[in-house]
Amino acid sequence: MTLEFKMKIKKSNLVVVLFMLMSFSTVFIIACDKDPETTTPETGTLTDIDGNVYNTVKIGNTWWMAENLKTQKYRNGDIIDSVSTNEPDTLWRNKKTGAYCYLDPKFGFLYNFYTITDGREIAPEGWHIPSDEEWKELEIYLGMTIEASDSINWRGSDQGNKLKINGGSSNSWEKSSDIFEIFGTNESGFTAFGGACRIFDGNWGYPTHTAFWWTSTINENDAWYRGLDYNKTNVFRYSGPMNYGFSIRCVKD
């Protein structure tokens, strides 16, 4: 084999190697420059026994209501007791059976925990009230650590913001007074708004400042719930008396 022929082979091999390197670099650059795909949550609707239609959203593997419940009937058609704003606070405080109240129906209704324990069931057919564990699964899916999800009071980092809609809109949430101006992002599609609460003595919380939801899980003589605040980014977990008035979100069976 002549020296000239060997040099031609080496030169040919070098061209192939350079071509492969250039091709790999091009692919690598394209892959790195590609914008991350944005996922749009899967959505649907749900109709309760009163004919109210709610938006729903799939978060992880679970379908959640994306609005607060506002049914006036149990699943079997029986009427749920109502306590209006014109009636004494003591009437709400002394209730030991299922009841609801509201300040503004656009926020949904506030129910005591006795509506959840009632065997006639308040959740629409094919749905149920999420347990404390199901709420934890939601929070962990949104980035909360397992250790934080098991704790009480304010936990996590920005999971509350991922649940909230319109963090700076007075129609849904009071504008944050924090220097960093906390706003909801609603990345989850949960679409939480500040529906407030009614506490054990009958007094009301202030809409657009806070939001609370029951779980279906009892903790001794109380029940676990979740809360959000216009001025915080994380999620509140605690247990409270069963005659509190909180919002309800249902999950699909």
pLDDT in tens, 163-186: 999 766 668 998 888 877 788 999
State the average pLDDT over residues 16-39: 42
Percentage of the residues of the chain whose pLDDT score is greater than 70: 83
Q: How confident is the model at residue 83 (pLDDT cuts 50, 70, 90)?
A: very high
Residue 192 has pLDDT above 70, yes or no: yes
Sheet containing 42-47, strands listed edge to edge, beginning at the edge strand earlier in sequence: 42-47, 53-59, 62-65, 251-252, 127-128
Q: How confident is the model at residue 25 (pLDDT cuts 50, 70, 90)?
A: very low
How confident is the model at residue 28, as a pLDDT?
A: 36
Residue 120 has pLDDT above 90, yes or no: yes
Cβ–Cβ < 8 Å for 137, 62: yes
HSE, side-chain direction, 13 A CA sphere, residue 157:
7
How confident is the model at residue 203, as a pLDDT?
A: 92
DSSP 105: G
Q: How confident is the model at residue 96 (pLDDT cuts 50, 70, 90)?
A: very high
How confident is the model at residue 167, as a pLDDT?
A: 63
DSSP 107: G
- pLDDT digits 0-9 by tens, 33-78: 333 345 788 999 999 999 999 999 999 999 999 999 999 999 999 9
Q: How far apart are CA 129 and CA 230, in angstroms?
A: 24
Range ranked top by mean pLDDT from 7-16, 36-45, 115-124: 115-124
Residue 135 has pLDDT above 60, yes or no: yes
| Both structure tokens of 204 | 């009301």
